[in-house]
Amino acid sequence: MNGAILSVSQFTLYADTKHGNRPGFSQAARPEIAEPLYNLFNQKLAATGISVATGHFGAMMKIDLENDGPTTIIYER
């Protein structure tokens, strides 16, 4: 396919929305645990020969994206 991956750390994917109007992130891994896992994930991707671009862990990042593929997000209340 000759593709590439833009890997962005996104702790908000672990948001708990079961209580109240604001999501909770208390069950997400702390940065000192999450960052090495994120880096390992990117290293393993790159080891397969896929081109991997990353930003800075924990930084506010904005990207332009045209998403043309299947994505499923389950939002339960």
Catalytic residue among 12, 48, 71, 72: 12
- Kindly report the number of other CB atoms within 10 A of residue 7's CB atom: 15
Looking at this protein, which amino acid is placed at residue 39? N
Chain mean position to CA 49: 20
Q: Are 7 and 43 in contact (CB under 8 A)?
A: no
The continuous run of DSSP H or E covering 7 comes out as strand 4-7
Active site residue 72: no
Catalytically annotated residues: 12
